[in-house]
Amino acid sequence: MTQAIKDKVVVITGASSGLGEATARLLSAQSAIVVLGARRTDRLQSLADEVSSSGGKALAVTTDVTNCDQVKRLVDAAVQTYGRIDVIINNAGLMPQAPLERLKVDEWNRTIDVNIKGVLYGIAAALPYMQQQKAGHIINVSSVAGHKVGPGFAVYAATKHAVRALSEGLRQEVKPYNIRTTVISPGAVATELPNSVTEPDVAEKVRKSYEIAIPADSFARAVAFAMSQPEDVDVNEILFRPTSQAL
C-alpha cells in the first residue's frame, strides 16, 4: 500500500473499461476511494460493486463527458459523499481514424467533444473545489499521438496535442493553489479504443499495430507513480510505449 494514495478521493472518467477500469482497480487496492464515471451504467456499477466487495470504497455515477452538467454532477457527488476531491483523471477518450479526405465530419466533432471538451469539463468541475482546498491533482490523458502525427489520425492527434497544451497552461495557472498536474501519454495499450475506428481498411491497420499492445495496468501504474510522489514533487508528463513500438 502506498501511503500517499491511501484514502485519496479519486474521480475517474471513462471508468467502465480499459485504462479507467484498470486504474480504479489498482488505486482501490492501494486504499484510494474511487468515484467512477462512464456512460455504461451496468459495467460501471459492476466495477463499483467489485471494489466494494473487496473492502474498498467506490461510487458509480453515470456520466457522458460531452455533457458539462453531467461531469459537474460526477464531481459534486464525490465531494458530497466523501467531503473532498483529491484527484481527477480525465481519461474518457475516442480514437476514430481515417484520412481527412474521407470527410468523417461527424467523427471529427465527436472526437473533439470527448477528447478536448470532456477534459475541459473535468477541469471546470474539479478546479473550484481544489482551489478552495488549496490542494489537488489533475491528471489528463493524452497519447503518443499527442507527440507524433501520422497519416490517418490527424484529428485524433490534434485532440491529443490539445490535451497537452491545456495541461501545460493549467500547470502554470494553478501554482498559487498548490495543485499538481500530470499529462500521461500512452502508446499501444490494450483497451477498447481501436473499436472506435469505423473505416474497415483503417481498422485492420490499427488492429495489426495493436498486436504489440501492453496491458492497461501499465497506465494504472503510471498514475500511481505520479500520485505517490511527495506533495512538493509535481510529475508533469509521462510518455510510455510498448518496448517494441517504433512510432
Instruction: Please give the positions annotated as active site.
Output: 156
CA 37/CA 12 separation, integer angstroms:
6
Residue of 233, 64, 63 whose CA lies nearest to 137: 233
CA 41/CA 24 separation, integer angstroms:
16
Instruction: Look up residue 63 and give its three cell numbers.
Output: 456520466
Instruction: Look up residue 37 and give its three cell numbers.
Output: 464515471
Q: Residue written as cell 510522489?
A: 229
CA 162/CA 45 separation, integer angstroms:
31
Q: What sign does the dihedral 65-69-72-76 (CA atoms) show?
A: negative
